[in-house]
Amino acid sequence: MKKKHQEVCDILIAWLAISFCFAIVLGGYSVLGYVKTKAFNFSWAGFLTNFGLSLIITATSFIFHELAHKHTAIHFGGQGRFVLWPAFLLIGVVFAVLFGFIFIAPGAVYIYGKQYSKKDEGLVSLAGPATNIIMALLFLVAGALGAPIIVISYGLFINLWIAFFNLIPIGPLDGAKIIRWNALAWVVAIAIPTILMFAFGLF
């Protein structure tokens, strides 16, 4: 029970931090942005609007991403638990505030309980970014049905960026595990958010 409580706390802290970072970046409140433009158009109303939208959208993008990892691991007969990485979370917040860039890996789902094959590990890793891609497509459908453009643009950017970032094949990120299993699967997976971000001008 104690581990479960800690996992919930870790996810909530990571969710708030990621939402804060997206609010800073999407609102244009970074130090670098001020240096470039010599104008700092900060307002509490604007920031709280951005933060509120980010909270709502990362509740589906970030939390669903981590839950997809966890439940895919359970599907393969193991267990999974989200663990916060405080140092990486802090680095991500600093990057957002100083440079207006989302570079954040606040934690990860640790899988355990059985010996995973490369394929199992690759599929568990792919589950998170795949969930974000599906969520982005659902936001497109919502846009076609008349949802507000700001919600659609935030939903697309946040989901596609989380998918793209996690598919970078370095260190503990999902991309490194996917490419060890199947390089073609990784190419297809990273191509989708990359093409969509270019298509909608989100890069």
pLDDT, tens only, 128-165: 999 999 999 999 999 999 989 999 999 999 999 999 99
Prediction pTM value: 0.91
Catalytic residue among 7, 10, 66, 121: 66
Enter the tokens of residue 199. Answer: 């298509």
Q: How many residues does the chain have?
A: 203
Report the pLDDT value the prediction gives residue 112, as an integer from 0 to 100.
Answer: 83
Question: Which stretches of the chain are assigned E, i.e. beta strand?
Answer: 79-84, 107-112
Separation CA 62–CA 84 (nearest Å): 13
CA 200 to each of CA 61, 121, 134, 153, 197: distance values in angstroms, whole numbers, following the listed order: 18, 32, 16, 9, 5
- Domain regions of the chain by residue span: 2-199
Report the pLDDT value the prediction gives residue 2, as an integer from 0 to 100.
Answer: 58
Report the pLDDT value the prediction gives residue 203, as an integer from 0 to 100.
Answer: 59
CA 203 to each of CA 44, 109, 160, 164, 198: distance values in angstroms, whole numbers, following the listed order: 26, 27, 10, 11, 6
SS3 84: strand
Query: Which regions in the chain score pLDDT beneath 50?
Result: none
Q: Is 7 a catalytic residue?
A: no
Report the pLDDT value the prediction gives residue 105, as an integer from 0 to 100.
Answer: 86
